[in-house]
Structures are given as structure tokens and as C-alpha cells.
Chains A and B, each alone.
Chain A
């Protein structure tokens, strides 16, 4: 099981993962929540949800969140994949999920997820992480609060410098 870190009450904590990642070629699903690829979700999502299962969708970095626009109310979580930490497309996907599509469920970072990216991820709306660098919740918590200020408006609602200056 990968380490699963969630933001709860503003802190990064080690959490129990109620979902399992399901590869496209696995026929028998475990009990509990499942995270499916977009293709599998499109094929089987309706049925699984109607059976009462909690379903999440994992988007590859070249897939766009707009594809999920009409399904979001039924989806428990969206996992956004970083095939390499350098592939920054998931930052845009996360931000649009929160800001444009109004998604309130979990947005989870999966793949090549490093604690050096923690601050950026939190700002665009990720609230759950599966680190690939062996880092723990304490290290994530420290990384998330590294910077006392930010310069831009983003999906986390933090007041940017220009707003702080007006106070």
C-alpha cells in the first residue's frame, strides 16, 4: 500500500485509504472504493455507482478534467497522475477542477509525487497525496507550510501578497 497523506483541518496527516487503485486489466474488484482509469470509468462507472460503490477516477496527464464535467457530482475523488514530476499538466487540471468545475471531493496527487512539489500542489487544490519519495506526513506538513506568503490567487483561497498589503 502506498503512503496516503490527507489534508485534514489544514494539516497533512497519514490517513487510512478507503480506495484502491484498479488497473484496467483486473476483472475482480476488491470491496470498498475503487479508482478507475477514465476509459474504464466511462465503460463501467454507471454500473458500479448504481451498485452503491464509491468510485474515483484517475486521469492521465494528457487527459483533461473537462471530460468529467458532467460526472463530477457522482465521483468521490479525482486522482491526477504525474508520470514524471516535471509534467505539470496536472496542476492545471487540479486548478480547473476546483475553480471552474467547482469539485468539492478529494483531489489526489499520484505518480511521481515529491515533497518538493507539496506547496504548488496544495495551492492548485490537491488535498491528498501518494508520495513517491518515501517522505512521511510530518515532512509533508513542514513542506506545506514552508512559505509564509504567496503572490497569486489560486484554488486554495490564500490571500496573495497584494491582498495582504491592503489590510
Chain B
């Protein structure tokens, strides 16, 4: 893992000191809430329905045990004993007092964490593959590039007041676990025929009111030219992105308005003028790469007797392995998905105790490495097969071993009307009702991969457009209604879902999902996923079944 050096640490200390002064000015009444708002937003501090919310950045979703324990401590000391992991792989504390925030930022800085650029119209936390450095599928370690982008984007003097927020995802595996195609910029590492490393560059994907799958504007960008090319994209956007209407200000609107060819042409023209003066020197890339050098893995046999014995003896462990354990690039190791989707709980929430359990397991059995996924789960990327039974037992005891990764109860939900001032409807209880319906794990496994994503309003923080089943909360004359979309995907086969029909009332949603699943099981051919069946049949059989009940 990358270790912050004295320069990286000084940046965080200076930021924390600056914010301490700004909060003092606000608390002393020297500045009004209106004047304070842009300042606090640059530090990840939002004013929500009930309290301040502090959004802590978890750069490319990577944490060490010390950092996770600090987050647990903050949750216990300054919040209500829990935190909420988000689809941006950040952590939100929803019950924060303004006067405590300078101290919290100092505490975060002491373990190399911060809330920089977790809000505001700037370049936000970069999303990367949670299996980076562990999966055999990847061409390169995307964290190297993600860390370089973290530094480049931090307090960028030219691009901190963009028309709107800006999100970048990077992956190096064919299976996309970052939703790269629905980011402002999606970068996918590729190898040219001569073996040279580079990026496929997609620009202008996004969700929100106007969802788009990002078109590719460059099939192959030589890896060492990344930063000048990013600068060209950002400069074109900073100059030409709309600023008259916040809902039309994301880069996707500019790309769609110009067309991808014209947008690409403008970027290439600007890039030619920039030259390579802003590219990162190879020496710095090598320094960062060194920090992510492969861990000292032991040479182990591919087969672990302890693991096989436990799997044969304990059906619960076997089920956990089927759903939450993925192959590792090194023999004798595995990637472990830690579910934050316990049936009946709030998706993405973790208590301070749970954070500490994961931190301890990472330290003892996981090479000190923890990842956060954009699907709001955690990952222990390097666990020995021999240790899996004991890790599973410890996770199970903490309510963290729900064997539901990628299954119907592994739901993404935004905080919704329970917390958020923008929401039209609740999202969390809908997720809970659906999860309850599929509590029977036998049945959930029979249904297989099914991604449900729920947003409490059109801003789409719950990514409903790219859910296999998407659920959007809408307001109808003061009542909560929910519009269903089917067939979306945020992965390598990214697609925006299609609206099924009229919105349903709150208490009909979980039943409707049940009906959709029944239709799928009836129509399914071979080993089709829900998404595959839907793509083959279209909406008709699903629509008929859901709305038949209404009449």
C-alpha cells in the first residue's frame, strides 16, 4: 500500500489547520452560513435533514487497519456509533456537530485520512477495482494510477471550480467492478499489440437526471501521457461546460451536445498544445508503483486441506465460499467479500465494532489491507485459504458474513428520505423489505446474480439506472411512489435500464420485485442471469405480470 510521506502528510495538516480557522470564524459569527457553505463543502461537510454530515474520502477505496480503527473511534466518539459506506467508496458520518469537525479532521489527518474534495465542483475521489493487486484478471495495478491521480487532482489550481462535480474511475480487469462507463471519465487499462501499456478513455458517462453510458473518445492513450490528456479533457470541460443550469452542467451534457467526435477533436487539439510538460515523470510513477509492489505472499499449495474439510463439514461456510470468496492470483490465497448487507439492516452501514472486527482480521489474516467497493461492501483481498474458516467465523459473529454478494439482497441504496434533504422517498426501508422477502438463502442463490439499486430521488445516488432492477423514489402529491426500471448494468456491459410502467406505491414495491423474480425464473433459459433473460425477452412478460396484479 502507498504510504504517505512527509509531503503528503503536510498537505493534510495544512488543510486541517485551514479548516479549523474557518470553523472558528463561523462559530464566532464572523461569517454567515451562506458564506460558510462553500468552505464547508470543500471539506466534505454537508448540512442534512437532522445534522451535519461529514463525508470522509477513502482514496480508491483502500484502507489499512489503523485507518479503519480510527474511523470506528470517530463513529463512537462523535457520531452514533456507526458510519455509512457509499457508492463512491467514501464513508459518511451522519450525526456530526460543527464544533467537533476541526478535531475530527485532525484525527483523520493523524492516520493519513481526510475529507478533501468529497464535495464541491471539483475532481472527486477516484474509484478503482476493489480486487486490485489480488485478482489474476488485471493487466496492471490500477491503484498506481489512482494514487497518481489522487495527488494530481488534490487542490488542483485550475480545476477546483468546474461547472459541476467530476468523477473518475479506473480499472485494469475485463470484469468492471468500478462502473467506469457511467463516470465522467472511465479509464480501462489496455495493452497495445507491441505490449505497451495504455488506457481506453471514456468520457461523459453518468447517471442523475440524464443517464448516459460514456462513449470512448480514445481507444489507446499511451500510459505515460495520462496526465496531459486528463488536463486537456478537464480544460475543454472547464471552458465549455454549461454553467447556467446545474442540471445540465456535467461533462456528459457537453459530450452529448457536441457529439463524441467533436468533443474528442477539441480534446486532441488542446492536448497537442499542452505537449508533455504536465505528464508525470517516470521516476515518480516508479516510486508510487514500488509502494504497491506485490505483497510477500507465501508459496502455498493451491489446495488447502483445512479449507476443504471446513467446506465439507459446514454448509454455512460452503455457502459463504460460493458467494463471497473469489479466486486470488496466488495459489493458496483468496479474495473475501465482507457483506454490509445483512438482511434487515441498512445497506452500507457498519458499526464501530464491525469496523474493528474487519480491521483486526485484516491485520491478522489479511496483510493489513481492506477495500471498500462501490457496491457498499468491504473486501479482505489477501486471505489464505487455510485461514478462511476462522475468518468466516469471526465475520459471522459480527454479522458480516451474509452470503449474498451479487445476489438479490446485495442492494445499493442511497440514504434517501431518512437522512437526505433532496430525497422524495425512503430508500433504506425498501431495501430492507426486499431483503426480507429473500431471506431464504437457498432461494436467493437459485435466483443468482441480481443487482437491485435504489435511489430516493432523480439525482440517482443509488445508481438505479444501472440496476438489473432499478427503483426510483418519486413524490406523487406528497406520497412516496417508486418507479421500476429493468435491464440496467453498470459493469463492462453498461446499459441504462428501461422504465417498466407507472410508479408503484411504497407497500407494493417488494411484492413487485418478487413478481419480477418469478417471471425471470419462469422465462429463464440455461444459466441466464436475470439481466440476460430480460435482454432476450424485453419488458413485455415482466410488465404484464407486475401490472396484472394491479387490475
Residues of chain A touching chain B, judged by Cβ–Cβ distance below 8 Å, are 64, 85-89, 91-92, 95, 100, 116-117, 119-121, 123-124, 133, 146-154, 161-162, 164-166
Contacts and interface: CB of A to CB of B under 8 A. Distances in A.
B161 A162 contact: no
B159 interface: yes
Q: Which 8 A-B pairs have the closest CB atoms?
A: A88-B161, A123-B157, A162-B284, A120-B157, A151-B151, A91-B158, A161-B7, A149-B7
B239 A64 contact: yes
Given A92-B238, A123-B157, A162-B281, 6 more contacts: A91-B238, A100-B273, A121-B157, A133-B35, A152-B152, A166-B283
B157 A116 contact: no
Contact of B10 (A88, A92, A124, A148): A148
B287 A119 contact: no
Interface of B: 5, 7-8, 10-11, 14-15, 17-18, 22, 35, 38-39, 42, 121, 151-152, 154-162, 235, 238-239, 243, 273, 277-278, 280-281, 283-284, 287
A140 to B, nearest CB: 14
B273 A88 contact: no
B7 A152 contact: no
Nearest to A164: B7
A124 B231 CA distance: 14
A41 B287 CA distance: 50
A98 B7 CA distance: 27
A86 B151 contact: no
9 contacts: A85-B38, A87-B161, A89-B238, A92-B238, A120-B155, A147-B14, A151-B154, A152-B278, A161-B7
Nearest to B14: A147
A165 B284 contact: yes
Determine chain B's interface SS by DSSP, over half rule.
helix
A150 B155 contact: yes
Nearest to B158: A91
Contacts of A133: 35
Nearest to A161: B7
Secondary structure type dominating chain A contacts = loop
Contacts of B273: 100
A92 B158 contact: yes
A151 B147 CA distance: 12
A152 B281 CA distance: 12
Instruction: With a 10 A CB-CB cut-off, give which of B39, B239, B281 has the most chain A CB atoms.
Output: B239
A153 B239 contact: no
A95 B274 CA distance: 12
Contacts of B287: 162, 165
Contacts of A124: 157-158
B278 A153 contact: yes
A64 to B, nearest CB: 7
A86 B161 CA distance: 6
Contacts of A123: 157
Given A149-B7, A151-B152, A151-B154, A91 B14 contact: no
Contacts of A92: 158, 235, 238-239
Given A64-B239, A154-B157, A165-B7, A146 B14 contact: yes
A116 B11 contact: no
A100 B8 CA distance: 30
Contacts of A85: 38, 161
Contacts of A100: 273
Contacts of A150: 155, 157
A16 to B, nearest CB: 28
Contacts of B155: 119-120, 147, 150-151
Nearest to A151: B151
Contact of A119 (B7, B157, B158): B157
A63 to B, nearest CB: 11
Nearest to B151: A151
Contacts of A165: 5, 7, 284, 287
A92 B156 CA distance: 11
A100 to B, nearest CB: 7
Contacts of B11: 147, 149, 151
B232 to A, nearest CB: 12
B310 to A, nearest CB: 47
A86 B284 CA distance: 32
A87 B17 CA distance: 26
A99 to B, nearest CB: 8
B116 to A, nearest CB: 11
Contacts of B38: 85-86, 116
Contacts of B238: 88-89, 91-92
Given A91-B238, A100-B273, A149 B10 contact: yes
A153 B160 contact: no
A56 B496 CA distance: 51
Contacts of B284: 162, 165-166
Nearest to A90: B161
